[in-house]
């Protein structure tokens, strides 16, 4: 089945850009997602990209997809303290099954 | 549009007791998912329904977990008997197509 991997932790300074990386294994994955989860809260969909796209930009968020390497990244421009959270990468594989990564904890320092 | 409703919000039980969670998906969403999220981990799919049929339950511990989706709408997830390692947040999600997933707020289960 699908396996989604992420690094566990990222620390950036306020105002800098953050780049969170993700790799997945199922080359037939059709949609790839980024979710944000704040402490004690539910999953908030940030953005998604269809597998036939290379890039998607939405305000401060930029998603890059390298389908050949099965690599997905999320860039947050001008990172703010409110961006501190856990970010999950997820991929839709066979039969619309959504598989999540382990999550990357983003810490924003002043 | 109303979101995915889950109840209860929190539940504390003793090990070996039983517990049930309820989920009401977005109206018209054919696919319903139950995920388990253990603290510090990503959500893990337990079971996926398409209408009232099971599509994938490969990671559901069937000796203690059961789930049903009557009439292809609401769903319940039951644990009987609960173990300490079942302490987690149980998330319900629904989707109309393969990209429009909506998650509920979850039920936080603590087994003591």
* B1 pLDDT more than 70: no
The strand pair at A18-24 and B75-79 is best described as unpaired
Which candidate from B42, B48, B56 shows the least CB-CB separation from A103? B42
CA distance, residue A100 to nearest chain B CA (Å): 6
Task: Find chain B residues with C-beta within 8 A of A30's C-beta.
Answer: 98-99
- pLDDT tens digits for B75-111? 999 999 999 999 999 999 999 876 678 999 999 999 9
DSSP reduced 3-state for B86: helix
Task: Find chain B residues with C-beta within 8 A of A45's C-beta.
Answer: 101
> Given CB atoms, is A99 within the 8 Å cutoff of chain B?
yes
C-alpha to C-alpha distance for B112 and B110, rounded to whole angstroms: 6
Task: Find chain B residues with C-beta within 8 A of A99's C-beta.
Answer: 45
Cβ contact, residue pair A43, B44, below 8 Å = no
DSSP reduced 3-state for A48: strand
DSSP reduced 3-state for B19: strand
- Listed range (B5-14, B28-37, B89-98) with the worst mean pLDDT: B89-98
Tokens for A21, please give them.
């990386």
Task: Find chain B residues with C-beta within 8 A of A42's C-beta.
Answer: 91, 103-106
């Amino acid at each position: 089945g699908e396996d989604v991997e992420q690094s566990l932790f990222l620390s950036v300074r306020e105002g800098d850009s953050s780049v969170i990386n993700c790799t997945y294994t199922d080359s037939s994955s059709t949609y790839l997602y980024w979710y944000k989860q704040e402490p004690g809260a539910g999953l908030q969909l940030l953005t998604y990209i269809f597998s036939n796209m290379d890039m998607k930009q939405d305000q401060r968020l930029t998603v890059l997809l390298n389908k050949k390497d099965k690599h997905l990244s999320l860039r947050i421009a001008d990172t703010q303290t409110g961006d501190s959270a856990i970010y999950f990468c997820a991929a839709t594989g066979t039969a619309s099954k959504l598989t999540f990564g382990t999550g990357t904890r983003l810490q924003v320092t002043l | 549009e109303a979101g995915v409703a889950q109840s209860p919000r929190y539940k504390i039980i003793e090990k070996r007791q039983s517990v049930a969670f309820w989920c009401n998906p977005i109206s018209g969403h054919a696919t319903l998912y139950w995920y388990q999220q253990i603290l510090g981990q990503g959500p893990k799919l337990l079971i996926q329904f398409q209408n009232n049929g099971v599509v994938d339950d490969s990671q559901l511990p069937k000796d203690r977990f059961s789930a049903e989706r009557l009439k292809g709408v609401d769903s319940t997830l039951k644990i009987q008997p609960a173990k300490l390692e079942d302490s987690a947040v149980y998330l319900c999600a629904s989707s109309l197509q393969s990209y429009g997933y909506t998650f509920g707020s979850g039920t936080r289960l603590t087994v003591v």
